[in-house]
Amino acid sequence: METKMTKSLSVARATRMSGIAMGLLAVIVIVMALAPYWAGRAELRLFGEIFLYMALASLWNLLAGYAGLVSVGQQAYVGFGGYMFFALAILWGVHPLAAIPLAGLLGALIAAPVAVLIFRLRGAYFAIGTWVMAEVFRLSFAQFSALGGGSGTSLPVDIVKSLADGRAAREAAAYWLALGVVVAVVGLVYAYLRSSRGVALTAIRDNELAAKSLGIDIWRAKFTVYVVTGGLTALVGALIFLQKLRISPDAAFSVNDWTAFVIFIVVIGGIGTLEGPILGTLVYFALRETLADLGSAYLIALGVLAILIMLKAPKGLWGLVRARSGAELFPLSRRVRGLDD
Amino acid sequence: MTTPILELSGLGKSFGAVTAAQDQSWSLGAGEALGVIGPNGAGKTSMFNLVTGTLAPDAGRIRLEGQDITGWPAAKRCRAGLARSFQVPQPFSGMTIYENAYVAATQGAGLSGAEAEETCLDVLARTGLLKKANVLAGGLTLLERKRLELSRAMCARPKVLLLDEIAGGLTENECKSLIGTIQDLRATGISIVWIEHVVHALLAVVDRLIVIDFGRKIAEGEPRAIMASKEVREIYLGIEADA
């Protein structure tokens, strides 16, 4: 009887809610794309920063939340991308718009041998290994005298000007690049997780023993994620330092700025979900903008909040939302339709 | 004689002083169902770990369809046609039952699209989990988890299916339907190795029985004759084969 039943069944992914969410998201992206026409300079700068952090958080979430690669050294790629962007633009005269994707490509290329090396380490040792690697990067670039060594360098005016005419146009261009990158990164992570490889990755997230026993090459899946994440993180790094117009080893390879805050964002938002890093970024910036006047107490407040959320809601704020409502903005799950219930 | 589909020769593995497998040799013919019995801690599950590649042997070779797979990683062995169920269930807890099956169908069997979906739905219907297809695997009872183990292994479309104690704790009717499911599987030409303590279920299905104790194969042959033998009676003193 049951075998007959399967004929009337179907498997669906999108729900009505996810359809509405996608429509809403498209509207938000369009409104944000028009921001240079309705927002002030300071807001534009803040929005750009939010987008870049959202991209970093989505990438770290893919790495740690799905592939189980808890890296505390992603600043290696942010800094590497920033430095490659400066090197390409200043030393080799590459147009900034071409230097940004090239920096990402170089980031992916350097991530491959790094992965081969640090994948020999497990768990906490892996995390420490990534940090050590980032320090190696920082110390190496401090020796890079063509780009100012330990004190760093600024992006020359003529290169900045080659991006667009006039300050307003340049700021709008940098903003659109940031918006484009966050849309591309979130879209890419989403498409990846929906694909067959994404199914494999989600299985690895839940149970490595069962995953490999069911035909999933765990090393290759993790390697792919590490290299892709490294490349895209380097690309985001290039954009970050295009906005800052100045780079130095300490700023480029800052563990606080590019990893600690990113981990905070993903943990409070909800690790291992697509929505978590997005929600986490918004919460983080809301806190930063309201508590920034508190000085160092602001960091203490962030820490306390992170601990509270880890204790009370280990799946983050999005986990709470989902547990209450079953909401899924980006439909990754597959639901069998047509069952009796 | 044709090449056996699965062949172990001189397989050995020890953890310090504990011997999990010692000079184990046996083979499985195509389409055959082989039962494995032995007391707890005899090394039955370790033998499965060696065969599926989650444990590396100290000595001996494993061949699948005549090909030496001893050095192959677990994932490659699964794609080559070896799938197992775990005695201690290993569900993908954050995924639904259907999604668990889908992982096996896409990654293990290499299916995609409608074919993968139909395989999953069909298998879940046969194992009686279809009604719960949208339930997260993390919230299942032990019995349901064991059925999920069987379903997932079936979705990987193996040539050799390794079953590790899937009948324990079932009611009489459930056990009957499980036996029916496994007999149906056999009819499709799949070869089966089944570790089981529920002897009457085993005897209803298997062609041959091997007995393992202290990592060694101590007896092999026609199931009823083996169950009646002196060695088995000694090991299973007090446990009667009620088939």
Q: Which residue has the higher pLDDT, B84 or A294?
A: B84
Q: With CB atoms and an 8 Å threshold, state whether B121 touches A205.
A: no
Q: What is the pLDDT of residue A15?
A: 76
Which pTM value belongs to this model?
0.88
Q: With CB atoms and an 8 Å threshold, state whether A203 touches B117.
A: no
Confidence at A330, pLDDT banded by 50, 70, 90: confident
Confidence at B240, pLDDT banded by 50, 70, 90: low
Residue of A6, A206, A218 lying closest to B92 (CB–CB): A206
Give dist(CA B138, CA A336) in Å, integer: 18
Q: What is the pLDDT of residues B79-90, one digit of tens each?
A: 999 999 999 999
In the block, tokens 């050590």 appear at A132
Q: What is the pLDDT of residues A28-45, one digit of tens each?
A: 999 999 999 998 899 999
Q: What is the pLDDT of residue A166?
A: 84
Residue (of A258, A251, A266) closest to A233 by Cα position:
A258
User: CA A40 → CA A45, A175, B71, distances in Å?
Assistant: 9, 12, 63
Q: How many CB pairs under 8 A join A and B?
A: 120
Q: Is B207 helix (H, G, I), strand (E, B) or coil?
A: coil
Q: What is the pLDDT of residue A338?
A: 82
In the block, tokens 């298997």 appear at B206
Q: What is the DSSP string of A61-87?
A: IIIIIIS----S-THHHHHHHHHHHHI
Q: With CB atoms and an 8 Å threshold, state whether B125 touches A2.
A: yes
Does the pLDDT of residue A135 top 80, yes or no?
yes
> What residues are paired with B24 via a beta bridge?
B11
Helix, strand and coil content of chain B, in percent to the nearest 5, comes to: 40, 25, 35
Confidence at B241, pLDDT banded by 50, 70, 90: low
Confidence at B242, pLDDT banded by 50, 70, 90: low
Q: What is the pLDDT of residue B89?
A: 92
Smallest Cα distance from A317 to chain B, Å = 17
B57 at interface of A, judged by CB pairs closer than 8 A: no
- Superfamily designation of domain B1-81+159-243: P-loop containing nucleotide triphosphate hydrolases (3.40.50.300)
Does the pLDDT of residue B126 top 60, yes or no?
yes
In this structure, what are the phi and psi dihedrals at residue A228, rounded to the nearest 5 degrees?
Answer: -65, -45
The mean of the pLDDT values for chain A is: 91
Nearest chain A alpha carbon to B157: A214
What percent of chain B is modeled with pLDDT above 90? 60
User: CA A160 → CA A89, A198, A292, B199, distances in Å?
Assistant: 10, 39, 30, 79
Tokens of A282: 């918004």
What percent of chain A is modeled with pLDDT above 90? 65
Q: What is the pLDDT of residue A331?
A: 82
Q: Which residues of A touch B159 (CB under 8 A)?
A: none
Q: What is the pLDDT of residues B179-199, one digit of tens each?
A: 998 998 899 899 999 999 888
Long-range CB contacts (within 8 A, 24+) of B71-74: B73/A212, B73/A217, B74/A212, B74/A213
In this structure, what are the phi and psi dihedrals at residue B37, rounded to the nearest 5 degrees?
Answer: -125, 170
Confidence at A7, pLDDT banded by 50, 70, 90: low
Give dist(CA A79, CA A86) in Å, integer: 11
Q: With CB atoms and an 8 Å threshold, state whether A333 touches B99.
A: yes
Nearest chain A alpha carbon to B117: A11
- Judge whether A143 and A73 are in contact, CB under 8 Å: no
Which value does ipTM take for this structure? 0.90
Smallest Cα distance from B106 to chain A, Å = 7
Give dist(CA B181, CA B178) in Å, integer: 5
Q: With CB atoms and an 8 Å threshold, state whether B90 touches A209.
A: yes
Does the pLDDT of residue A6 top 80, yes or no?
no
B134 at interface of A, judged by CB pairs closer than 8 A: yes
Q: With CB atoms and an 8 Å threshold, state whether B95 touches A213.
A: no
Q: What is the pLDDT of residue B243?
A: 45
Give dist(CA B150, CA B53) in Å, integer: 19
Mean pLDDT to the nearest integer, A224-235: 97
Mean pLDDT to the nearest integer, A296-312: 88
Mean pLDDT to the nearest integer, A249-270: 93
Mean pLDDT to the nearest integer, B15-44: 90
Does the pLDDT of residue A2 top 50, yes or no?
no
Give dist(CA B96, CA A335) in Å, integer: 8
- Judge whether A316 and A265 are in contact, CB under 8 Å: no
Q: Can you list the alpha helix ranges (DSSP code H) found in chain A?
A: 2-5, 16-33, 35-38, 41-60, 75-86, 96-118, 123-142, 157-163, 167-194, 196-206, 208-213, 218-244, 249-252, 255, 261-269, 275-291, 296-312, 316-325
Does the pLDDT of residue A88 top 90, yes or no?
yes
Smallest Cα distance from B21 to chain A, Å = 20
Nearest chain A alpha carbon to B81: A215
Residue A54: burial class (beta carbons within 10 Å; 0-12, 13-18, 19+): buried
Residue of B54, B76, B98 lying closest to A334 (CB–CB): B98
Q: What are the sequence ranges of the domains in chain B?
A: 1-81+159-243, 86-157
Smallest Cα distance from A237 to chain B, Å = 32
Q: Which residues of B touch A208 (CB under 8 A)?
A: none
Element (H, E) at B164: strand B160-164
Q: What is the pLDDT of residues A50-62, one digit of tens each?
A: 999 999 999 999 9
Q: With CB atoms and an 8 Å threshold, state whether B54 touches A213.
A: yes
Q: Is A105 helix (H, G, I), strand (E, B) or coil?
A: helix
Q: What is the pLDDT of residue B237?
A: 59
B63 at interface of A, judged by CB pairs closer than 8 A: no
Confidence at A3, pLDDT banded by 50, 70, 90: very low
Give dist(CA A155, CA A87) in Å, integer: 10
